[in-house]
Amino acid sequence: KGRRTPLDPYYRFNDVAYRWISLDNWTYSRTFKTPFDIKKWQKVNLVFEGVDTVAQILLNNVTLGRTDNMFNRYSFDITSVIQEVNFVEVRFLSAISYAAEQSRCHKGHSIPPVCPPPVQKGECHVNFIRKEQCSFSWDWGPSFPTQGIWKDVRIEAYNHYHLIYFSTTPLFGNTQQWCLEVESIFDVVSSKPIAGLVTVNIPKLQTQQTFSVKLQPGEGSIVQLVNINKSATVEPWWPNGHGKQTGYNMTTTFTMEAGCQIEKFSKVYFRTVELVQEPIPGSPGLSFYFKINGRPIFIKGSNWIPADSFQDRVTYDTLRLLLKSAADANMNALRVWGGGVYEQDEFYDICDEIGIMIWQDFMFACALYPTDQNYLESVRAEVSHQVRRLKSHPSIILWSGNNENEAAIASNWFSIPYPDIGVYIEDYVTLYVKNIREIVLCEDKSRPFVVSSPTNGLESVKEGWLSRDPYDTHYGDTHFYDYSNDCWNWTMYPKTRFASEYGFQSWPSFSTIEKVSSPEDWSCTSNFSLHRQHHEGGNIQMLQEIGRHFKLPQCPDPVKQFKDMIYLTQVMQAQCIKTETEFYRFSQSEIINGEGHTMGALYWQLNDIWQAPSWASLEYGGKWKLLHYFAQNFFAPLLPVAYEDKGVLHIYGVSDLHEDHKVTLRVSVHAWSSLEPVCTLAKEGVTVKAQSAVPIYKESICDLLERCRNCTRTSCVITFCLVGEDGLQSPRNHYFLSSLKDAVGLEKTQLNDIYIFALQTTAIAPFVTLDVGSIKGRFSDNGFLMTEKKKMVAFYPWEPTSVEELESSLILTSLLDVV
């Protein structure tokens, strides 16, 4: 079901087999009839919303112009070229050969990196072309340097004037009144100014205003300030988990003395955003957190990469499914990462609708970039177009200049000799500060801008836009990866102000791999398993992390061993990121040794670009990995979190709720060999503070085990939850007292699904996992520790299915099934 054919670009080794396609030059052409009378229109444009990437565009054998930037919009005046029947051609140049040529012609200093690491099987000089940077390969994705028309193409014909961009920006004044800045950018054809009226109407807010305007010849903008009726109640837009995402329908009518009337329908939202960077008592450095509508918000979420190497396969439904899965896992934010694309309008529309805040990178990642005049002009056009296109979205709360390029210079990733570093610093400031930042601040004064991620924020600015150590925990955000230490040990994680990237790899489930492989590929050491892993040493690192806490699979049957390995990588990834995220969440209200006040946790990464081992929690196609089920719990609005320090167990109550709550903490200690708890404790009247993390319980593990007779670290496990009034309840959390490979008393359990899906167990079962193969959908919970005889798990299908189909596909696994 859903099996890919050998022709599919993602099948087996096709990324390498199809390399010839991207080395060739391709031409797209067609004949079309003009569907209107040419003589009736003063101006006719041919508009490309997106061309990927380097092309010459001809109409009726006349060259209209050239394109060299995938992220720009191109509009060509064809008034004098269009005929009743037309022949249009888009002649592409191989992106690979163009990038190589640009690099070869570049005068002066080299611009590293030249090529990606060999393990990525990618192409070189991607920093010399304004194209999706990961399309030349990445450490989680293939190299498919596409050539084509990746967005809409249209012909616009108009007289007098034409609306090119339209945007709305909410402003909350000192008078505690909302107003709306409405900006319209026009192309005026006539040689004289055009006068007329603009009427803005928001019925739900009893607001209507009319303005007299004069449009000057050529391209220009007009800005209207609309005051929202004082007697109307404005419901602001809130992130997921903090309130409603109220939007208002607005109609803007342009009635000009000359020419037609233009009616523009839009949705407007009201929200403010502030990035707070202030001194913190008892801690050197500055805070780094977001306030939405004046309320500090702990940012919970992940990082977004392109959902496919072939953007035209990314439909509205693809986006909706992935973004809805983020919201369903209690996320309120995603970072659109700077090595992909500025996402399509629908992506941001969905985020507006479901309350996902967006940290928006500009498309520069893990590299240094040229700053010659042509390149800068192309980038300036790109930035101006993207900001105009996107700035009306309340979901976007931050612009960020690049991904990791400040760190690349500060940590000297590219081994630039010290005397030469000055020229690269100059390039950096020229590109991100003097060009990108300048345009963003000019086009959009309503949101914060940071130059890079990770960065030290205001401290980086103070140090001349490049800090000595962008990873400093006392300022800005950090990215953190460590595959050689024990990921269950919270002390290895940075107590940072804001964790904007961190993660561990795992394999996608067998049903996902199966679609693009053949039986000889199904082993840990097959060529396919090596080919799909684009991160140096990644497969070994996963096995090492597993080996710390679990018995490695030893099954003589290679396919069973492969499936066991997949399961364990997902268990390991979920448990590691759970530990790390819980650490960031419980650090939000405290300063320890000058560090803390962590106000954001965005793990790397949400989604996958193809079927391969990666850091994602959602597989290609949208299937939830165990990590995503865990995220639903570790991002829960109310959560008890446990950690151990010097032999003492600490439990914190973490809350994103807007009010304090009195709750009961329930702690159970189970022997691995019994479903009946050895002992339980209920601590009543615990106050969990609004939007905080507070210590609510501590006890030395020795005392705890002594109280629960016959318990040792290896024979028992702790589970706990918070229960309040009116059905308020946290997920049940767990804390392991030892590695599970050392656990005593674990028995192979009889797991039965009696019906869809009521599970029964005869013994405690860690990481119980349900998998229905390629049937699309998700479970209400997965990868859980089963400490009760029965558990109900619901399956939410994403397409029609049946009991029979589910029953025949269901595979149940728990830790002891791995042999």
Catalytic residues: 404, 501
* Kind plus residue range of the DSSP H or E element containing 666: strand 661-671
Give the contacts of 771 (CB within 8 A, at least 6 positions apart): 509, 510, 511, 810, 811, 812, 813
Spatial contact of 76 and 65, defined as CB atoms under 8 Å apart = yes
* CA separation for the pair 738, 726 (Å, rounded): 36
* CA separation for the pair 406, 290 (Å, rounded): 22
Closest CA to 378 of 436, 433, 451, 424: 436
Spatial contact of 326 and 295, defined as CB atoms under 8 Å apart = no
Give the contacts of 86 (CB within 8 A, at least 6 positions apart): 31, 32, 33, 34, 59, 60
DSSP string covering 380-442: HHHHHHHHHHHTT-TTEEEEE--BSHHHHHHTTTT---GGGHHHHHHHHIIIIIIIIIHHHHH
Helix residue ranges per DSSP H, 272-420? 316-328, 345-354, 373-390, 405-410
Tell me how far CA of residue 424 lies from CA of 125, 370, 404, 544, in angstroms: 17, 9, 15, 38
* CA separation for the pair 630, 302 (Å, rounded): 13
Spatial contact of 99 and 125, defined as CB atoms under 8 Å apart = yes
Backbone angles phi, psi at 657, to 5 degrees: -75, 155
* CA separation for the pair 674, 677 (Å, rounded): 7
Structure tokens at 323: 């973004």
Tell me how far CA of residue 37 lies from CA of 33, 84, 261, 332, 545, in angstroms: 11, 8, 20, 50, 69
Q: How many CB atoms lie within 10 A of CB 211?
A: 15
Spatial contact of 348 and 247, defined as CB atoms under 8 Å apart = no
Amino acid at 413: W
* CA separation for the pair 625, 635 (Å, rounded): 16
- Torsion angle, alpha carbons of 124, 128, 133, 134, to 10: -10
Per the listing, tokens 């490049």 go with 466
Spatial contact of 339 and 363, defined as CB atoms under 8 Å apart = yes
Per the listing, tokens 């996608």 go with 508
Per-residue DSSP letter, 748: -
Q: CA 646: distance to chain centroid?
A: 36
Per-residue DSSP letter, 624: B
* CA separation for the pair 65, 459 (Å, rounded): 44
DSSP string covering 33-64: E-SS-GGG-SEEEEEES-EES-EEEEETTEEE
* CA separation for the pair 790, 636 (Å, rounded): 23
Give the contacts of 705 (CB within 8 A, at least 6 positions apart): 669, 711, 712, 713, 716
Backbone angles phi, psi at 768, to 5 degrees: -70, 125
- Torsion angle, alpha carbons of 451, 453, 459, 460, to 10: -50
Q: SS3 of 758, please?
A: strand
Q: Are strands 790-792 and 758-760 parallel, antiparallel or unpaired?
A: antiparallel
